[in-house]
Structure 1
């Protein structure tokens, strides 16, 4: 199973769609908040299954703050991370993961990509599409789950992907 992971798109839908183009075929879109509505727009536009959560910038938007998903025997927690103060460390996030007995945590909020494994729990922050920080570029994640084995990857959004996306959109308007 192949999952596309986004966070902190902040209404940069062209760039987010270019990231989806670069991801290739995915079974699910996971979005870790800021902006929840972006995830729904992207998923509907591409007919994708989607799990998304709200973040600290999702004003006047109703949606879950956490989602738990079980795929191929692997439990995942999706959260934005602001409630666990992820900008100051991952202890709160790890405590929540242990309490929920999940093996993978998808989060955002820092706008910086992160891929770590602590005490058997994979932490994946795909970074930000809409407003990368810390000298990073726009990034996204891919999570592959096969027979209970999880592989996580983070990739930059390639400029060629955006060019290709714009070219296809321009052609479809004629």
Structure 2
């Protein structure tokens, strides 16, 4: 199972369309972690699970819980969980909903990490990255393990950011 995760595109349309076009045939689901700044009916967002960010005015959900091929994803923008300061409130919510993977944006800092058996992913920003120069998004692949691969906006993998996690077994 593969999920494409992007966030914080802040009004960009062509760039979203390019990324979706590049990967749509190789992923099972696409998530946008907010601050698209696009209308809900925008063609670029059709078929994508989108949450509302602090810069969005469209009527998107504040969060999404989606199970794909037995993998539960929790998607939120992160501003309601103060993710620029701490990941603790987000971790409580992710654990509460039984997430395998929790995806968030808001900080524009591309990262992935594991805490208490949950994999956390911030795909960074395809428009205004912080912490690194690359404008990033990611693909999360779940099979016997969980592989998180980051890509710069043009589609090249940022190889030093790739991480592989053991999959939590129940």
Q: Are residues 1:158 and 2:160 paired?
A: no
| RMSD value, Cα | 2.1
Aligned length: 154
Which one has the largest radius of gyration? 1
Q: Report if the CA contact (8 A) 2:34-2:105 is conserved.
A: yes
In structure 2, how many angstroms separate the alpha carbons of the residues matched to 1:22 and 1:156? 12
Q: Equivalent residue for 2:32?
A: 31
Could you tell me which runs of 5 or more consecutive residues in structure 1 were left unpaired when the two chains were aligned: 161-174
Q: Which runs of 4+ in 1 moved over 4 A?
A: none
Q: Report if the CA contact (8 A) 2:4-2:31 is conserved.
A: yes
Q: How far off its partner does 1:135 sit?
A: 3.4
Q: Report if the CA contact (8 A) 1:126-1:140 is conserved.
A: yes
TM-score by length of 1: 0.79
Match of 2:126 among 115, 120, 129: 129
In structure 2, how many angstroms separate the alpha carbons of the residues matched to 1:38 and 1:115? 28
Q: Equivalent residue for 1:79?
A: 76
Partner deviation per Cα, 1:110-144 (whole Å, 9 max, x = no partner): 01101111111100111001211223321011012
Greater relative CO (CA pairs within 8 A, separation 6+): 1
Q: Going by fraction, where is helix more abundant, 1 or 2?
A: 1
Partner deviation per Cα, 1:47-90 (whole Å, 9 max, x = no partner): xx32110000012x111000000112111100000011000121
